[in-house]
Every structure is written in structure tokens, then in C-alpha cells.
Structure 1
Amino acid sequence: MDDPIFDRSDGVWLNEPEQWTALAGGLHVVTDRATDFWQETHYGFHRDNGHFLGFPTTDAFTAEMRVQGDFQALYDQAGIMVRIDAQHWVKAGIEFSDGRAMLASVLTDGRSDWATAPYEHDPRDFWVRATVANGTLRLQVSHDGRVWPLMRLSPFPRASCYRVGPMACTPERAGLQVAFSMFRLTAPLGRGLHDLA
């Protein structure tokens, strides 16, 4: 599972964007207008029209990737998604909120939650990692691809397989350009919770 993921043929688009390009070992996406993933909480609406290129996994894995984008408008977002179906998924990365680019994750198990935090580094260029194993989700973020502090730890629905890959949405506009690269999919890392490697 260490092969360059974007070169594989088993990635499936959910809501393929009008503009995207596969590059050598990478992916460039331009978001369509009014795209999002969200289920009900607070707003009352259901959205499942964001862009997601999902690759199949086993029941346990670690996935990580580099994400580069210029987040400027409210709710501009990009990062990683792990998905079972429209009611069971997580998305994590950078999202523009309250006038700045923030760390953000949304975990949906029937209904969506939303967790944000300030990001201390350059939000236009970051790495994000998701590990799923034994009913647990671990999210990590990195500014350099080497040091990986914890972003979130939570229960996550068990499944025999998932889809994982790059995600991007712009609920309030179109035209966010995002480059995804250095996507790796491996067996779960199995490191201690406070191991930053």
C-alpha cells in the first residue's frame, strides 16, 4: 500500500469537480460553487456535494498527504476525508472561519460536529494524517511532514473497508485551488499517542 496513490486507478470521485488535473504524484483541484459536506447540526440542512476522491482501504490504515491552498473566503476548506457513506465520515484539514484559516475537523455519525482551533503555522501548506484502527480515529497535522502533533482522537464507526483521500469544498463560492501531493496509505502506524513522529 506504499505505491504512489494518485497513480492508482481505483480512486473514485464523489462529486467530481469541473476542473481537476492529475499531476505526477499529485492532484490539482479547483472547487465548484456551493460545495460542502455537512449533516443537520445547528443549520438543519444536509450537504453531500463536496469534492472527494476516495481510495479503498482495509479495516485499519494510516493515510497522510500534503495540502496546499490559499484559503480566503468563509468556509473555504481542504484536507483529508475518511468515509463509509453519507452518514458516516470525517473530514479534517484547514477551514477559513472567523476571519482566519483554522484547523478544523468534522466528524459525522448521523449528525455532524465541528471542532476548530488556531493553526500556528502557514495554513497554505500543511500535512494531515488519519489513522483508523479498532474503532478509533486519530487525526494529526504537521507543518513539515516530520513532526505530527495530535489534532483529534475519537471513536469512529467500524467497517470492513473505508474510502480515504483528498477533500475540498467552498460553501460560499467557487474557485479555491488546491494541490494535493505526497499521499501515502499504509498499515496503521501503531505509535504511542504522544509520539510526534
Structure 2
Amino acid sequence: MENIVNWQKGTWTVQPEKVELTEDGMIVQAAEGSDYWEETMYGFKHDNGHALLSSWEDNSAVEVSFKLDTFTELYDQAGLMLWKGTQQWIKAGIEINDGQPNLAVVVTNGCSDWSLSPVPDWKGQQVTIRASQMNDAVIIRAAGEDGHWRTIRVARFTREPGRQAGPFTCGPTRAGLRVLFTRWVHTAPDKDIHEDPPFLATAHK
């Protein structure tokens, strides 16, 4: 089971500077200073990132793929957003920190946290981020072009109606970040946390 989500069916939380649909997918240009964050450590709030959201039911997994070939500056980021509102969301993807790409997850329930894991060998690759509900949590996985899933987070997330999910990008420190998203699908959910799902991340138009 793999159901492609049409790029034009989603709704932006905040409209990006530019969106272009091409034969390769969707190119999104983030606004300078765009980000999502709630309070923790820094004391500030940001809710002006760009997430393209559509309904997400917990009987399916959601996957987003994008090219990691334009990320150069501190905190350049893109990936998958899970959304229940401005105070309850999870963003998972790639973020530049200390000069290299990192798998980054921010879980927010009133306040945000942040986890990082470096993946320097993924520079320039297509990256896929996946989320699947299991009981009261989501299992978040990531894969580069080798198709090997890495489990990067297990986090509590609501199963209440009204959940949404989709691709996101932010350019917290600079103008001109352009990200090519190649794929957005709903697919079969995980069977078990210790059993990798199939890797099906080929681009769609």
C-alpha cells in the first residue's frame, strides 16, 4: 500500500517565499528567519516555519523524501512535520549543525526538546523520513539512499482526531534556502519497532 499525497492538496502553516512544482517534485524556498520552537532553553517562540499539511490517520505511516544538496548554513532544515496545533507537534528531518547534516527531531508539547545525530555521509543524497503510530507513540525512522532505516526517535503523540502531517522546511539563519521534495506518501504502518518496514522511496511526480 502506497498512497501518493498530491502536493496541491496540502495547506501551508505559513506560505513559503516560493513554491515551484517541477518534473522532479516540489521546490520550496524558505523565508529567512523561519523556524518552529517553543520556549525551552532559549526562551523564545517561533511558529513561522513552512509545513505543508494534510490529514493523517494513525492506521497508516507517512513518509517524506527530499534532496540534501542545498543545505550549507547553520540550522538549514527540512523533513516531516506531525501536527496537532501550535503547542503539540513533532518535526523530524535533517538540520545543519556544527557544519554537517544531522538527523534532528524536535518534540513539542507546550515546550520543545531537541535531539541530534550526525550523518555526514548523507551529504547530497535523497533522504526519507517516516513516522508510524504504535499505541500512544510514534516511531520515527530515517534512511539515506542505501535504503537502510534508522530508528531515530520514539515519542508520545496524540491519537485524537484532527492530526496532520507533511513536508516542512525552515531557514532560521539565512535567506535563499531551496529544498527539493521528491515524495510524500501514506503507506502501511510499522508492524513492530524492531522490524524495519519496506523501503520504497522512489520519487513521484
Question: How high is the TM-score relative to the length of structure 2?
Answer: 0.88
**Alignment of structure 1 residues 109-148 onto 2, 5 Å:** 109-125=109-125, 126-144=127-145, 146-148=147-149
- Contiguous gaps of at least 5 residues in structure 2: 198-205
Gaps of 5+ in 1: none
CA–CA distance in structure 1, aligned partners of residues 4 and 24 of structure 2: 6
Is 1:19 matched with 2:14?
A: no
Distance 1:157 1:145 in 2: 31
Higher mean C-alpha displacement, 87-96 vs 61-70:
61-70
Distance 2:64 2:58 in 1: 19
The amino acid across from 1:13 in the alignment is W
**Does the Cα contact within 8 Å between 2:101 and 2:120 map onto a contact in 1?**
no
Pairwise CA distance, 1:120:
4.9
The 1:168–1:59 alpha-carbon spacing in structure 2 relative to 1, beyond 3 Å, is: same
1:76 aligns with 2:106: no
Count of equivalent residues: 195
Residues 104 and 116, structure 1, Cα contact 8 Å, conserved in 2:
yes
| RMSD of aligned residue pairs (Cα, Å) | 1.8
Q: For the Cα contact (< 8 Å) 1:61–1:133, is it kept in 2?
A: no
Residues in 2 aligned to 1:61 and 1:89: alpha-carbon distance in whole angstroms: 18
- Distance in 1 separating the partners of 2:133 and 2:188: 10
User: Deviation per CA, 1:120-150, whole angstroms, max 9, x where unpaired?
Assistant: 5323321111112432111101112732121
Residue in 1 that maps onto 2:43: 44
| Aligned position for 2:202 | none
- Cα displacement (A) at 1:182: 2.3
% identical aligned pairs: 35
Q: Tell me which residue corresponds to 2:180.
A: 179
8 A contact 2:190–2:196 mirrored in 1? no
- Whole-Å separation in 1 of the counterparts to 2:159 and 2:9: 22
TM-score of the aligned structures, taking structure 1 as reference length: 0.91
Q: Judging changes above 3 Å, is the alpha-carbon distance between structure 1 residues 120 and 63 closer, same or farther for their aligned structure 2 residues?
A: same
